[in-house]
Amino acid sequence: MKLKALSCNKTLLRKDIFRFAPLWGIYLIGGLLVMLSSLTNVADQDAYWLSATLGPFAIINMIYAVLVAQMLFGDLYKSRLCNALHALPMRRETWFCTHVVAGLAYSLVPHLIGAVFFMTTLGQYGWVALTWVAVMLMEYLFFFGVAVFCVFCTGNRFAQVAVYAIVNFFAMIVYWFVTVIYQPMLYGVQINEDVFKLFCPVAQMVSSQLLKFEWVVPTSALSHIHAEGQWTYMGPGEGWGYLGICAGIGVALLAAALLLYRRRRLECAGEFVAIQRLKPVLGVVFALCVGAVVAAFGQEMMGSDGYLVFLIIGLAVGWFAGQMLLQRTVRVFTGKTFAHLVALGLILAMTVGLTAWDPIGITRYVPPTEAVQSVEIDRGLFYSYNEPDMKITDDEGIELVRSIHQQALQERWNGSGNYSTYSIRYTLESGQQVIRSYKILSGSKAAELIQTLYSRPVFLLGETDWATWYQSIRNIQFCGYTVEQLVINYNELMKEELKVPLSSYTVKNELLRAIWDDAHAGNLNEIYDKDYEELSFYYVSFDRNLENGRAQWKEFYVYKRAENCQKWIEKYQQVLMVNGII
């Protein structure tokens, strides 16, 4: 291809800039108003705030890019305009390159103008504004490349947006489909969402931290209660390599779009797809998505036993609806389409059957102790915004979790009785993660093992040395009252009968010692199971300072078997009675 053919037409470029000025003008003015209203005129705070928008701005770039592509290349979707356009002497390559240059200008120019405003308050952090511009351009380049590529794969605006959404979220669509259709067949297996997120650029960009800023308080001010600090740049963060790859993919898709355009038929304007080979792919994707939606509805209505029937119904509805959309006619009930539906149904049934049969033993797999680097356990499912209950690295703890895992497989919950959900996540030496989630029946052997696991001193106390643990305690509560409150109330009400007021220091120290001894005897527990021990109980909670400056809060149950705590309760029974605890 000659370089002259890839040149930019100045007249057309000028027309693109002014014809669609409202689009990028609204983007510029609206963005400036929102972002400038958040500036504080404090350099470090504004730098931190601007760096924090690098990831979330990917969502705005994703929407803005598809709008720009629709505006610049929208003439291809109207038959009359498309034919008139290609009757002009201008080459397709020139027309394409001019629109691409205009599209890139729609991002670069507004962001450069914004950077100029940012620099007025960023001071020594002025380079953050230029970094922000570079990141915005790379994010936009990826989404613009995808959007333009989708333009030349489709024949109308609705189809372009639909295909654009499928391409951007294809990995998460696959994850959702797998969790709805196949995961119920694998008892306890939880699909690792992180693997799918890796192939979803939007999710990766939003969660990436490209620049690291930390709140730093000067050492000389640490002793002051209202010590002031500032946001300090700590170096480049993670995600630059991924962002660079995405930008490269965007450029490659622009080149691929040009190749498609050179072979594009003008007659496809108005059709759903411009490439005939895409029709079967989109038809299958549409049918599977509708089938999964109907199956999910059936799962909510009838439970896990009836969702496959809904899957079959949804698959048929989705297949014929998709064919009507692609062929632009309702006359799709032919022998050929029925044969294709049967073939698709058989393939789906075969994969579902193999999953349920589980010939390679995915559901039965329990990682050996020597292959496990660490294991995490939590009540309920794992969520990205919540830390698990505990992370175990010692062999004894790992072996105990494995025993719980094996027992849960033997005692499969059958839908009756009280249960609690527990999730286990193994991190193997290879770096691979194995995630399982089980419903544990109250009073079962697995529940007893969980009681043992949640009774481990290192979990309850968070420390193995008495002196270190004692010094880290900020306050301790018994049944919702701090020890100081209990003693003050007791001394106040019994002041006429007491010769010497009770010392809260002594009461607190004795309680801490009792907790320490009972925890190491395995007599305390953070898990309440009404079928585990019917005797009455009390609960204790405490706050302690951690080495990283954060605080840890713990609450656990004191059953009758907690001998040392029971002795403390008996000794200070009158104190507890006065406060209405017993």
- Take residue 352 and report the two structure tokens written for it: 């579902």
Closest CA to 435 of 135, 195, 156, 249: 195
CA end-to-end distance (rounded Å), the chain: 90
pLDDT at 218: 64
pLDDT at 43: 81
pLDDT at 412: 86
pLDDT at 226: 46
pLDDT at 229: 65
pLDDT at 67: 94
Length of the chain: 582
Please report how the helices 157-168 and 57-73 are oriented relative to each other, as an axis angle in degrees rounded to 10.
Answer: 150
pLDDT at 225: 43
Under 8 Å CB-to-CB from 572, ≥6 apart: which residues? 486, 507
Average confidence (pLDDT) per 10 residues, the chain, 582 residues: 64 88 86 76 83 88 94 87 79 90 92 86 86 93 96 89 91 89 89 87 90 72 52 84 95 94 82 84 89 84 74 90 86 90 92 90 91 91 78 90 92 80 92 90 86 86 84 84 86 78 87 89 75 62 73 80 87 85 76
Distances in Å between the Cα of 53 and the Cα atoms of 47, 58, 68 are 10, 9, 21
**Which amino acid belongs to residue 151?**
V
